[in-house]
Each structure stands twice: as C-alpha cells, then as structure tokens.
Amino acid sequence: MAGKEKDKKLWGGRFRERTATSVEEFTESVTFDKRLARYDISGSIAHAEMLMARGIISKKDGRKIIKGLKEILKDIEAGRFIFKKEFEDVHMNIEHELISRIGDAGARLHTARSRNDQVVTDMRLYLRDEIYEIIKLIKRLITVFIDVAERNIEIIMPGYTHLQRAQPVLLSHHLLAYAWGFMRDMERFRKNLESVNIMPLGSCALAGTSLPTDRRFVAKRLGFKEISLNSMDSVSDRDFCLEFLFNSAVTMMHLSRLAEELIIWSSAEFNFIELPDAYTTGSSIMPQKKNPDVLELIRGKTGRTYGNLVSLLTVMKGLPFTYNRDMQEDKEPVFDSADTLKSSLSIISELLPLIKFNRDAMYKIAGGFCLATDVAEYLVKKGVPFRKAHEITGKMVRFCIEKGISLEELSLEDMKRFSPLIGPDILSLLTPESSVKAKNSTGGTSPTQVRYQIRTLKRLLRNTP
C-alpha cells in the first residue's frame, strides 16, 4: 500500500483505476520537457514567494518549499535527479519529489495555479533565454560578414539574376546583402521578445482564482514586463511560439540561401572559392572529393524548421478554448528549431572567415557581356531613350556572339555602326572596375557605397544591445 501511495498521481483523487502503462507511455512528456526544469523551478519559487507575501501559505511552509525546490534544482543540475514517466511531465516530477521531501508543505505549492498556466510560463521563460542567445549569434554572424567584406573589399565578381551572369559587383557588396537579411532577422527576434515577455502565471486552469493572489509580484520576480489580462487567452495562447518558429524558419532560409551559393561557388565549374578542409568531408570511394557537407546540412535542416512551423500551426488550428492536451505538441518543434538554428548560426560563423576567394576566377567572367548595361547607360547619357539604348546594345551583343568575341573586343569602328553617338570615351568604361565604380547610387555596388554600408552596419550593431 505504501508503494501505491508513493506512485499515486497528484490528480488521482477522482479515479478508482490505475492509469494503464500504455497510456503513461503514450501521454508522457517528461522525456523532452525536462529541459524546462530550471524554468519550472524558477516559476515555482516566485509563486511560493507570492503565496507567502499574500498570506495564502505560512512563511514557514513557504521557506520549506523554496529550500526544497533549490535542493531539487541542484540535484537536477548535478545529474542526480531521476525523471519518471509515470509522473507524466516535468511539473509533476518536481512537485511529487518536493512533497516526498518536505511533506504537506510541498502540497501547498500548487495553490492558485494550474499546469495550464505553469507550462506556458515555463515556455515563455525558456524562449526568452533562447531568443537572447539567438540574437547574440546573429549579431556575431553579421560581424563576420562585415569582417570578411572589409578584407576582400576590392574583389570583383559577376552578379547573377536567374543564375545567369548579369553585371559586375563587388564580392563585399554580395556578402553584405546577407548581412542586411540577418539584420532583419535580428529585429524580428527582438519583436518576438515583446510577445514572449508577458506573464500568464496566476491565470490557473482558465478562469483565474478566488484567492487573493498578486500576479504583478510574480511577474516582477521573474522579469516579465507585463501580465496577461485574459485568463482564457493566457493558457491557450501559443502565438509567441509560432512567431519564434516563423522567425527561425526565415533565418534558416537565409542561411540556406547562403549555403547554396557557397556550394555552387565551391564547385569546379565555378571555382570561386575554396572551402576549409576542417569544414568539409571526403568520399568513402572517390579519393579526390571534397564535399561541402556542413553547408548541405544547413540547407537540409532548413526543411525541419519549416516542418516545425507547419506542425504547430496545424496543432493549433482546430482547438477550442482553452487548454487541450494537443498543446503538449508545442514543445518538441520549438526545442528542435531553437537547437537547429543555434548550431547552424554558430558553425557558419566559424566557416565563413576561413573561405579562400579565387579573385582571378571571379574577375575573369565579371567582364564581357556583364558590361552590356554599362553600354546602354552610356548611350542614355548621350541622350538616347533607355528602351532604344537597350535595343542598340542588344544588337551589339548579338553581333559579338555571332563573331565569337566579347564586348571589350569589339572595335570602336564596329561599335559606331550601331550608334554614331558612340565615341572613344566608351573604351575606358568597358572594364569591371569602371562598371562597379560607376554604380554609386545609394545602395549600389561602388566601393564608396560598400564602405558606407559597412559603416552603417557597424553603427547599427554598436547600438544593438
């Protein structure tokens, strides 16, 4: 009988029959939500402090609860605590252990709260820490982009549209394009912090409580800026998790696009870059291979983060208010996306500074027909309407293709056949250097504009806590 009492469910008073073992296995969440233990105990300590301050429990019992929770946390952090599936989740494991250690005082802890508001509080505390860490990692990656851009600021490469050679650009300009995308990612996560930093604890199961609680007291203890104002919304809201999953998916998408370009550039067909040996792998059968596995895995893991977002959206789409057990399925997608994003951000920040850029290979194909737009703009400056200038330049390109020569190889005499406005001054424009230098419009690829971008990004990062 003593053994049965020891393993009795904390909610078991209404039930005559023991929960089937298969049901315990199917419904348990402690195998994954135990990572919330630190947050669960922090919330419980703050809750106990409030119950004491409001006279809902005695100071003696409150002090025993807090001491017991701190001891349990030490055991968890030391790896001595054994989480048991029969107690379902992290909350019940900790509470059951607390009651086992301190007796009836521990049974008073759950006064004026429910697992419904407890778990969503834990998730908000967890995500707050994760988002702070992710913002730091994104900031570090942006700094890496700036450093690599500065070190390679003069390298010229072909820019692409439709993966077809388009116009010459500075490699640094191309790299900074990613930096701006990650700046937006960082801002989205900062906005996510605002929606995360609202405390639901004290909403109880769905209706609040008749006891004289002080939710603002608890919010202050836990560092929340606001408290939720509708108890039903409090326990059923997972928008903040969905925002996190969306933000993670977008950031992984940016990482995946970067990975894709680096994979293409590292191929023998492009030969723009050489990836560091330490961040590539070999083939089990082909001795010559140097595979971009790290980049391919970043690209592949992006699909997981998309799946996590769709998974939780699908879980939430048909739920009536308020809490439903379906919402237990919010944790694994969030945990997985957080882990995946952090590891991907970290490893790409290690890899990027070690890439060797083949400036000769890039420069070699940054000229030729990539300079066609420069010819059209030259004609515009001579007074030719752009559409007419486009047509003239297109005919020049076709002529060159038929002759098997590039634009730079076209003689001035041949150029004048297409337009009498073309003079000797065009010859100095038909180089990749002249092309990028001329693109001095705000946000353009000229060295002046790229240096301005770098200064602006550095200033923004300095002002970003």
Active-site annotation, residues: 162, 283
Report the candidate in 158, 154, 161 with the shortest Cα–Cα distance to residue 366. 158
CA separation for the pair 120, 202 (Å, rounded): 11
Instruction: Give strand pairing partners of 146.
Output: none
Q: Give the type of residue at 5.
A: E
Q: Is the dihedral of CA 95, 97, 100, 106 positive or negative?
A: negative
**Cβ atoms < 10 Å from Cβ of 67:** 14
Longest CA pairwise span in the chain (Å): 106
Q: Under a CB-based contact definition with an 8 Å cutoff, are residues 153 and 112 in contact? A: no
Report the candidate in 294, 269, 224, 179 with the shortest Cα–Cα distance to residue 50. 224
CA separation for the pair 423, 379 (Å, rounded): 10
Q: Which residues contact 352 (CB under 8 A, 6 or more apart)?
A: 141, 144, 145, 148
CA separation for the pair 188, 248 (Å, rounded): 10
What are the CA-CA distances from residue 227 to residues 40, 130, 191, 361 (Å)?
18, 20, 17, 58
Q: Under a CB-based contact definition with an 8 Å cutoff, are residues 299 and 259 in contact? A: yes
Q: What is the Cα gyration radius of the chain?
A: 31
DSSP secondary structure letters along 365-421? TTSGGGGHHHHHHHHHHTT--HHHHHHHHHHHHHHHHHHT--GGGS-HHHHHHH-TT
What is the H or E stretch that residue 159 is in? strand 156-161
Which is it for strands 156-161 and 356-357: parallel, antiparallel or unpaired?
Answer: unpaired
